[in-house]
Amino acid sequence: MWRITAQACWVLLSICFLRNLLTGVLDDCFCDVESIDVFNNFKIYPRIKKLAERDYFRYYKVNLKRPCPFWPDDGHCSIKDCHVEPCPEVRYSQAANTMSDEAECEQANKLGAINNTLSNQSKEAFADWARHDDAQDHFCELDDETSPDAEYVDLLLNPERYTGYKGASAWRVWNSIYEENCFKPRSVYRPLNPLAPSRGKSSLSRSFCPGLCLEKRVFYRLISGLHSSINIHLCAEFLLDEGWGRPAWGPNIQEFRRRFDTAETKGEGTRRLKNLYFLYLIELRALSKVAPYFERAIVNLYTGSSEEDGETKELLLQIFNEIKSFPMHFDEKSMFAGHKIEAKTLKEEFRLHFKNISRIMDCVGCSKCRLWGKLQTQGLGTALKILFSEKEIQNLSEHSPSKGFQLSRQEIVALMNAFGRLSTSIYQLHSFRLMLKEKR
């Protein structure tokens, strides 16, 4: 007679969750999960990973000193001397919070600090890049890039992973995004802790966001997908060991289950992951739309080395060619297609909501989390800008600067790295599937 342990039962349920529930056609589009997995993991991920290592894309200019515009900046664990007072922990479970507040604060301070190491050669190159960029025509607002507090950060030295940033500060950021700045069904309950299970059965169990128009459903799903992607990165690069002053990061299956397992999340986990795929399709569509902009000879991914620049652009165009071959792109023409006045009002509301969310990223207390939050929201914002600029892109001049549509260096770096993060998330999901299968 077979005896099934609790652990074996969990493994079987988790495999079922990933293999059977995260499958089929996505809502609001005609693409299926399996097609995206194959396309991304074999064609896109290997190339986008290489692209992120090129000099043009590894350095991101960002202002991490901008104060939070919505509430007093408590700087949770992001300052050099981290005290227990600015790091209150809301203890929902004693088992999940075994470290003291002060110890957690010090840990988050250490893991969340930005590595600002840059060589003198890199600094000289940045000055050259600035002179080159200033000579270009810009027709969009350059946000952080023009601030005296903005500085280049090497993304390869500051990977997105677990930093210990959690508790009331982190939950307040996401709670503010969902409750105050995101279109969502009013019946959907969002607790302070987004990882806590909902009260009762989710109103999203049958159909996604009933009562919301397509545009508002899309907005909500984009934010949910971004949240899911970030959580997958934290689960895949979790702090496993701090021994001997050399932290070791790796996949944490228990943490992944806590955030996405069907039973743990009362059915929300699968939907969160499907929203990740939906976000992937939106940014994939934006990249297919903007390809003509980069295919022009006048566009140069300038770093000062003609050989490096040529290789980088060739790799970028290879990625665009693969993206254009994808047969099941999201149809953005169905958005804002109603009455002109109503569509214009909704489009502006859409833009303002997203702009407010991007400002909330200045309230993230962990410097490294703030860096990646700002980069990924700017990348998504750039993707939306592209989708809303189809006519301007179609009228681009082949041999002269763009008068109706332009992307700054910062927008380009954010766009490709943000998409790279989504591609990595889907690839990491495949890794979690394999790990769960091995535990059978």
Q: Which residues are catalytic?
A: 366, 369
Question: Which residues have CB under 8 Å from 221's CB, separation 6+?
Answer: 27, 28, 208, 209, 275, 278, 279
Angle between helices 168-180 and 214-236 (to 10 degrees): 160
SS3 240: strand
Instruction: Give the C-alpha separation, 342 to 350, whole Å.
Output: 12
> What are the residues facing 250 on neighbouring strands?
238
**Is 335 within 8 Å of 218 (Cβ atoms)?**
yes
CB atoms within 10 A of CB 35: 13
Q: Is 224 annotated as a binding residue?
A: yes
**Which of the 8 DSSP states describes residue 197?**
P
Output helix, strand, coil percentages for the chain, rounded to the nearest 5. Answer: 55, 5, 40
Q: Is 161 annotated as a binding residue?
A: yes
Q: Is 351 annotated as a binding residue?
A: no
The tokens of 269 are what?
């986990």
Instruction: Give the C-alpha separation, 387 to 382, whole Å.
Output: 9
**Which of the 8 DSSP states describes residue 41?**
I
Centroid of chain to Cα 125 = 28
**Is 386 within 8 Å of 323 (Cβ atoms)?**
no
Query: In degrees rounded to 5, what are phi and psi of residue 207?
Result: -135, 145
Angle between helices 253-260 and 409-438 (to 10 degrees): 110
* CA dist list (Å): 69 to 64, 65, 72, 146, 357: 13, 12, 8, 19, 11
Q: Is 174 annotated as a binding residue?
A: yes
The tokens of 154 are what?
């090497």
The tokens of 68 are what?
């939070």
Strand ranges (DSSP E) for 88-247?
151-154, 238-241
Q: Is 119 annotated as a binding residue?
A: no
SS3 236: helix
Instruction: Give the C-alpha separation, 252 to 235, whole Å.
Output: 5
Helical ranges in 237-298 per DSSP H: 253-260, 268-295
Instruction: Give the C-alpha separation, 37 to 388, whole Å.
Output: 27
Q: Is 163 annotated as a binding residue?
A: yes
Q: Residues at the annotated binding site for FAD? A: 161, 163, 174, 224, 227, 259
Known binding residues are: 161, 163, 174, 224, 227, 259
